[in-house]
Amino acid sequence: MAELRGSHGDQAHHILTSLFGTPDLHTLSVYESKGGYTALRKALLDMAPADITNEVKTSGLRGRGGAGFATGTKWSFINRDAPGPKYVVVNADESEPGTAKDRYILENCPHMVVEGILIAAYAVGANQAWVYIRGEYDEPSRMLQAAIEEARAKGYVGPKPFGKDFPLDIRLYRGHGAYICGEETALLESLEGKRAQPRSRPPFPAVKGAWGRPTLLNNVETLATVPAIINRGGAEYAKLGTAKNPGTRLLTVSGNVRKPGVYEVEIGKTFRHVIMELAGGPPEGRVVKVFWPGGSSAPVLPGSMLDMTTDAEALAAAKSMGGSGGVIVMDDSHCIVKAAHRLLQFYAHESCGKCTPCRIGQDWAVRTYERILANEGSQVELDILQRVSDGLQNGRCLCGLGDSGGWVIDSTLRHFREEYEDHALRHECRVGTVAPPALRATSPQVGRT
């Protein structure tokens, strides 16, 4: 494995990462020697399924995949007594630009994820779990598969874990390169062997999910947190973080910082702490110009707002969000218009093509950015960008990918209008050379748009 970049080792607030860095932690024997699988034993032998769900509710844990939905509440939506198969589906598609924390967990401690899955499955009464893992994650897949096999050999995955009559199997399903598969209903379509186009909700996955059956869908980090909650107790976990957003979460800090990495942070700490202290701040002589607080889909905040906290409520008040926890930092040597253009290329490329504002709008935005960057811009282009941005937002699209593209345009325009005007009206760039964007060598998306 590559050198660890991020939190590891015992520190007061480390819940997920305190064991990271232990040699061979990915093996069952080492994980168990450090207290692994005690939460599963406790859940199976000492707790009723409803108690487990209640403990998770008490912890206040909110989903770490992006939407931040209350995890315990989500678990309680599954009717445990409904006859027929039920599934746990794990979202390991991790494709939000700037986010690497699920990979960090899977490579360091795959058994923690396996344990979380087993507890969740027992709580909601599912006998089969599917991990949908992005196709590019070869190493994490191998490690997770190996962990499952070890747990199977030990009897934790199988007909009678710890002697309890609770058969469970965990299987992997590999993705094949499509960001939209991270969206939960698109993921389910893909798992069913279809083009990954989101479904309209309701019905929600808890009622009609994978293969039409009740399904609990959670992110890797969400489930990896569950063993700690069962071990400590929900109330103890809830003492960390803020009242509405308890606990810690993994923030991936990337871009123009001296120490990029995946850092475990108590929710409520400021971005100044995260970016300037943990990640070492921007390179010598540079300042933070802008940062994306929660993956590329989270509206940007200017460097002047570094004292913003990592709490979802505070971020929402600043018109942004905690999202996937991907903190992308850009310093003052880079151009905001070029950065926005690159992200719109991403959203255009990844649009699944199901709804018109997204399929057409994202592409229209890219072409508008291209004109601006080629010095062919004017007030007309700025107006078009604002119009396209509005058209992508506020429920005009079926899923969050549409809004995300709109938010990139809207938030960068809102905070950096002068730089847009430099490019569009005065044909100059305050940080770099003005040159038309080069053609990208991407895979053709014949089947999507």
Ligand X SMILES: Cc1cc2nc3c(=O)[nH]c(=O)nc-3n(C[C@H](O)[C@H](O)[C@H](O)COP(=O)(O)O)c2cc1C
Which residues here bind another protein, judged by CB under 8 A?
Answer: 2, 5-6, 85, 94-100, 102-103, 128, 134-139, 171, 173-179, 190-196, 210-211, 213, 252-256, 260-262, 292, 296, 326, 328, 330, 334, 339, 342-343, 346, 349-350, 352, 438, 440-448
Rounded to whole angstroms, how far apart are CA atoms 176 and 442? 15
Q: Is 65 a residue that touches ligand X (CB under 6 A)?
A: yes
Residue 343 contacts which entry, ligand SF4, ligand X, another protein, none (Cβ below 5-8 A, type-dependent):
another protein
Q: Which two tokens stand for residue 317?
A: 């008040």
3-state secondary structure of 322: coil
Dihedral sign of CA atoms 176, 182, 186, 191 in order: positive
Residues 122-161, mask of contacts with ligand X (x by CB under 6 A): ----------------------------------------
Question: Phi and psi for 92 in degrees, rounded to 5?
Answer: -115, 35
Among 91, 190, 362, 393, binds ligand X (CB under 6 A): 91
Please answer whether residues 87 and 128 qualify as being in contact, where contact means their C-beta atoms are separated by less than 8 angstroms.
Answer: yes
| Inter-axis angle of helices 138-153 and 101-108, nearest 10 | 40
- H-only helix segments in 374-416: 379-392, 400-415
Q: Which residues on neighbouring strands pair with residue 265, listed in sequence order? A: 249
Among 175, 198, 234, 406, binds ligand SF4 (CB under 6 A): 198
3-state secondary structure of 216: strand
Residues 196-225, mask of contacts with ligand X (x by CB under 6 A): ---------------------xxx--x---
Question: Phi and psi for 133 in degrees, rounded to 5?
Answer: -115, 135
Map the footprint of ligand SF4 across residues 172-191, applying CB under 6 A: 180
Q: Is 359 a residue that touches ligand SF4 (CB under 6 A)?
A: yes
What is Dmax (Cα atoms) for the chain?
A: 73
Residue 217 contacts which entry, ligand SF4, another protein, ligand X, none (Cβ below 5-8 A, type-dependent):
ligand X
Amino acid residing at 305: M
Q: Using CB under 6 A as the criterion, which residues of the chain lie in contact with ligand SF4 when the complex forms? A: 180, 198, 351-355, 358-359, 397-399, 401-402
Summarize as ranges the residues that interact with ligand X (CB under 6 A): 63-67, 69, 74, 91, 93-96, 180, 182-184, 217-219, 222, 399-401
